[in-house]
Chains A and B, each alone.
Chain A
Amino acid sequence: MTLLNIVLIENDLNSTLLEYGLKGAGFKCLKTQHSSQFLEVVKKTAPDAVIFNLDTPSEKITADLHHLSQHFPLPVIMFATDITVEAINQVIKAGVSELIVNGLENNLPSIIHIAIARFNQQQVLKHALEEARVQLEDRKQIDRAKAILIKTRNFTENEAYHTLRKLAMDRSITLGEMAKNVIAMAELLK
């Protein structure tokens, strides 16, 4: 089995409990403190997961997690000792896969594997949702383009669809992209 790479962000660099726990369980671990270089470090090392061990997440950490989730999504596990309900909501929103409060004594490997599995599942759902959103948007554009062709050219719905499809095929672009072209052309003459 390949060794999983973990970036461990420690509040206190003298704390060794998690670091030894990870290494003992066979993970590769890079321990550091949170800094302005955090996103750079993560992008450079491209770990399998990021673990935070903190008292409470700062606003900067939450902002960095948001950025990470948008541009470089990874499983993120956070151990915290003192966290408010508001902060819990914020870090979950920022893409933390697993949040454990006062739970360092738990089974570390299981936590990491569960977090990775949950993260992967979330990513699948996220992609499916994005795909559905794009399809819905395309559908709306296609309907609009068909309506334009029906109105301006007196096409039947079937003729409008086939014209749109032929135009898209000739250009090797999707039906949605072609629909945008038709709409733009109609806008010019509007």
Chain B
Amino acid sequence: MKTFIKVTEIWVPDKERTQLEFGSGLYGALTDFKAASKQQRFAYNEGLPGKAWAQRRPIVLTEFEHSYFMRTSAAKQAGLTCGIAIPLFSGDFLLAVVMFLCGDDEGHAGAIEVWSNTNAADMLSVSAGYYGTLHHFETLSKQIKLAKGQGIPGLVWQNTLPILIEDIGQPELFIRGLEAQQAGITTCLGIPVCSDTKHTYIMTFLSAQATPIAKRIQLWTPDPQGERLVCQQGYSKNSNDLAQLFETLTVTKGEGALGRVWLTGMPVISGNHESSYTPELDNLSAMLAMPVIENGRLKAIVTFLF
């Protein structure tokens, strides 16, 4: 199964916390791009991760050529045309930058958007987005404004929790439902990513059946006692009873990959880091677990399984 996201990376502050260095990444068969990335470092405000750090907001870069993107040649060779950098902060301090890189070929349908209230304090609008080949949907999306509680971005803003809608054909939830369906989009994941006293930023990942954002997405939240992580939702295009079996587990702080995310607030990539993919592991061989942090506390963990 092809996924919309081709490369996932985690960039972390180095020992002096003045530069970003390679933390981990999932590159599939893009070994040359992986080799180029592992050597890379980014100063504050340098390259895509450095800009996301400096600007304290998610950045979508849809053109690498003649931009501040620092791995343009390697990305071009790997067929990567768009990068999304999401900084994860705890207060003033950067924990990590999560990067997604996508290709632009015809077979990839889907969209990644950043919604923010930078234009009007009480309304969200698309401040950046990557829509691949969905040009009509892009035009429409950039005209929409959403109040708190309205649509998926508005609901995420209201609840400060990630939301995963498996069927977007419900106009009360997804205002662009009809157009999205026409564009082949079926699923939407909304994540609150950064906010300060003035601005809030929400990411939405819109996923098509043929090229889902990831093979499976899970939302984990701490239980009311704050003792265990519980999986609230898991979704993949094909039902996966093995994943469901593991989603009935609860996780304590520090235990396993998810427990480590909770303990440290740092995103984690686990599983198959190598290009040699094992086809008999028919479904899930790698995972990105991304924390959602509010006021220094873990609100949720979103996992992207590949």
Contacts and interface: CB of A to CB of B under 8 A. Distances in A.
A152 B249 contact: yes
B106 interface: no
Contacts of B281: 180-181, 184
Interface in A167-190: 167, 170-171, 173, 177, 180-182, 184-190
A153 interface: yes
Interface in A147-173: 152-153, 163, 167, 170-171, 173
A185 B246 contact: yes
Query: Number of contact residues on B: which range applies?
Result: 20 to 34
B246 A177 contact: no
A66 to B, nearest CB: 25
A181 B284 CA distance: 8
B270 A173 contact: no
Interface in B284-300: 284-287
Interface string B271-290: 11000001011111111000
Overall SS of chain B's interface: mixed
Contacts of A190: 256-257, 270
A167 B241 contact: yes
Given A152-B249, A167-B241, A181-B242, A188 B282 contact: no
Contacts of A163: 245
Contacts of B272: 184
Interface SS of A by simple majority: helix
Contacts of A184: 271-272, 278, 281, 284-285
Contacts of A171: 282
Given A153-B249, A167-B242, A181-B242, A188 B286 contact: yes
Contact of B245 (A153, A177, A187, A188): A153
A170 B241 CA distance: 9
B243 interface: yes
Contacts of A152: 246, 249
Given A152-B249, A167-B242, A186-B246, A173 B280 contact: yes
B305 interface: yes
14 contacts: A152-B249, A167-B245, A173-B282, A177-B280, A180-B278, A180-B280, A181-B283, A184-B278, A184-B281, A185-B246, A187-B271, A188-B257, A188-B270, A188-B271
